[in-house]
């Protein structure tokens, strides 16, 4: 098991390697996104690790088993699993799963805040910007509803 004081650094190394060569919708290096999400939850090693890793299963060849083999603790693995969207999964089922895990919920809120930042959205074509603004507004409302329901 990775000591808590090394979690974020180990997660960053893994995430940067996994996302190497990937770019975001605006053409910027993808690894900058998990870096910003991790910075938004700084001070909590479990949240920082989950933030760095939140897209590696969904967007790379990395698996949950790979993360377990690397020694990440179960709370991080559970959060990353909750944050990983399944193929053909309805988005509200996904948000319910995220909201059920407090660590995943904290990271998802930081993820949405980064993805919906005005400076980031301004770099996108108008149709994409509008679609994403609607998507993130729905996500925040769904997360809040599921969080209250618990």
pLDDT of residue 148: 67
Least Cα distance to 112 among 145, 142, 139, 131 occurs for 139
Q: What are the residue ranges of helices labelled H in the chain?
A: 4-18, 32-40, 45-53, 56-59, 64-69, 74-83, 91-99, 102-115, 118-121, 126-149
pLDDT of residue 105: 97
Domains of the chain in sequence order: 4-149 (1.10.3210.10)
Residues of the chain with pLDDT under 50: none
pTM: 0.92
Within 10 angstroms of residue 143's Cβ, the number of other Cβ atoms is 18
Using the Cα atoms of residue 99, residue 54, residue 30 and residue 9 in order, give the sign of their dihedral: positive
Q: What is the pLDDT of residue 149?
A: 57
């Amino acid at each position: 098991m990775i000591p808590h004081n090394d979690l974020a650094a180990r997660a960053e190394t893994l995430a940067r390697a996994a996302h190497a060569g990937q770019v975001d919708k605006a053409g910027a290096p993808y690894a900058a996104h998990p870096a910003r999400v991790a910075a938004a939850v700084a001070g909590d090693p479990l949240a920082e690790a989950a933030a760095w890793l939140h897209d590696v299963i969904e967007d790379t060849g990395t698996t949950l088993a790979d993360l377990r083999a690397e020694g990440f603790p179960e709370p991080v693995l559970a959060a990353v699993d909750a944050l990983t969207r399944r193929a053909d999964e309805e988005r509200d089922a996904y948000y319910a799963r995220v909201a059920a895990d407090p660590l995943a919920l904290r990271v998802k809120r930081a993820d949405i805040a980064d993805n919906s930042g005005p400076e980031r959205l301004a770099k996108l074509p108008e149709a994409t910007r509008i679609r994403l603004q609607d998507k993130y507004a729905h996500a925040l409302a769904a997360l809040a509803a599921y969080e209250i329901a618990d």
